[in-house]
Amino acid sequence: MKQLLLLAGLVVGLAACQTTTTENAAYANPKGYQTENIFILTYDGLRWQEMFNGADSNYFRYRDFVADSTEMVTRFWDSDTLVSREKLLPFFWQVVAKQGQLYGNRRFGNHVDNANPYWFSYPGYNEILTGYPDTAVNSNDKVYNQNITVLEFLNRQPDLQGKVAAFGSWDVFPYIINDQRSGIPVNAGYAKATGDGLSDRETLLNELQETVPGHWGSVRMDAFTHHFAMEYIKKNKPRVVFISYGETDDFAHDGDYDRYLCSAYYTDAMIRQLWEYCQSTPQYKGKTTFLLTTDHGRGDNKLEDWKHHGKSIEGSYEMWLGILGPDTQALGEVKTPGNYYQKQVAKTVAELMGFDFAENPAMGEILKEMLAKK
Ligand SMILES: [Zn+2]
């Protein structure tokens, strides 16, 4: 009996070993970069003003914008901008700005802009993911994208097939990524975790999502998006991941500056959790690049402009861009003048995974500054 148990133990042990080996099969980056996994993480409509200056206390005076200004001052404000921005976005300022690169502080003439002329979500995500602005993509309607995204392009590479996944709080992502054509699983809006062998956490998330009142019809709370993504990543170990956090945009449209700030802060913590998970997991540790950005900016000109974006809102093409990973020099906050565009992300992402993505002549060039280590 003892021997039988021992044998059973051995078989289980071997099976476990095999699973681990399969999951962590090495990826030979075709261009020799250290990056073997890439995560594109977006904050919908988070302004560069909050990214680089922290919370704007001018808005605290308005009861319409902020319910409890004392709480906001305590949590997110300091007379020193450098302290203030770190209180709001600690992961960005403690980790990305120390080990990676952050672009878009216009105070130093460092500009990151939309190249598309619309300055709202679908055209912005299309530009991030396809690498060029397309005037045919000019609404937020649920229309399947005719353009090929970098996610779809990478999913076509033999070594990456089935290792690409996307998650979003907004229910338009299945269309933007064209899940039907691309075959990429997109868990967005109020979609549940599906498939065999759901984890306990996935089962609970599915239940909670049905019983916690939603705040908006087409955008769920980011905690659901994040934890659905975390569970999927732990289970399936995808090499290419897209996650779009959406609350910041919707709280801003609602005019809730306090919730917009809280949401920015919680998302920062979720991104930290994801980074720390990656640094504790063999497939991802030291081999994963995070590309961090937004789909558009928001206004700053008139008192109410922070709530809005789009063509009629001055400056809402102004955005920011960050990167953190093994092929990127630790330049921190980039203070040299320059002009960068959202359309440059897609080619940069493909390059870091070792591929040339060239679908359209209007595509933005690779951000060479991000690949300085090579
Ligand atoms: Zn919006």
Please report, for the domain that includes residue 367, its CATH number. 3.40.720.10
pLDDT of residue 207: 98
- Residue 241 domain-assigned (yes or no): yes
pLDDT at position 10: 45
Residues of the chain with pLDDT under 70: 1-24, 373-374
Q: How far does the centroid of ligand 1 lie from the alpha carbon of residue 94, in Å?
A: 28
Segment 86-116, tens digit of pLDDT: 999 999 999 999 999 999 999 999 999 999 9
Q: How many whole angstroms separate alpha carbon 237 and alpha carbon 352?
A: 18
Cα(249) to centroid(ligand 1), Å:
5
Give 336 Cα–ligand 1 centroid separation in angstroms.
Answer: 30
The Å distance, Cα 54 to ligand 1 centre, comes to: 20
Residue type (1 letter), 32: G
CA-based torsion, 150, 120, 210, 179: positive or negative: negative
Residue 106 Cα, ligand 1 centroid: separation in angstroms?
22
The tokens of 371 are what? 């690949």
Note whether residue 322 is domain-resident. yes
The CA 203 to ligand 1 mean position distance, Å, reads 31
Nearest to 310 by CA among 297, 294, 319: 297
Task: Let me know if residue 119 belongs to a domain.
Answer: yes
What confidence score (pLDDT) does residue 25 get?
74
Q: How high is the pLDDT of residue 20?
A: 41
Q: Is residue 23 part of a domain?
A: no
Ligand 1 centroid distance, CA of 8 (Å): 57
Q: Assess if residue 235 is contained within a domain.
A: yes
For the chain, what is the domain count?
Answer: 1
Asked, for residue 22, whether it belongs to a domain, the answer is no
Instruction: Output the pLDDT for position 373.
Output: 54
What pLDDT is recorded for position 65? 98
**Alpha carbon of 245 to ligand 1 centroid (Å):** 12
Structure tokens at 275: 């980074």
- Give me the pLDDT at residue 372, please: 75
Cα–Cα distance measured from residue 134 to residue 251, given in angstroms and rounded to the nearest whole number: 28
CA of 314 from ligand 1 middle (Å) equals 14
Whether residue 19 is contained in a domain is answered as no
Residue 5 lies in a domain: no
Q: Please write the tens of the pLDDT for every residue from 113-132.
A: 999 999 999 999 999 999 99
Look up the domain containing 229 and give its range: 36-371
Span from the CA of 268 to the centroid of ligand 1 (angstroms): 19
Q: CA–CA distance from 259 to each of 66, 140, 265 (Å)?
A: 8, 24, 10
Strand partners, 101: 323, 332
- Neighbour-count burial of 257, counting CB atoms closer than 10 A to its CB (0-12 exposed, 13-18 middle, 19+ buried): buried
Q: Residue 119 Cα, ligand 1 centroid: separation in angstroms? A: 9
120 CA distance to ligand 1 middle (Å) = 6
Sheet holding 318-319, edge to edge: 318-319, 110-113, 338-341
* pLDDT (0 to 100) of residue 26: 86
368 CA distance to ligand 1 middle (Å): 30
Supply 102's token pair.
Answer: 């952050």
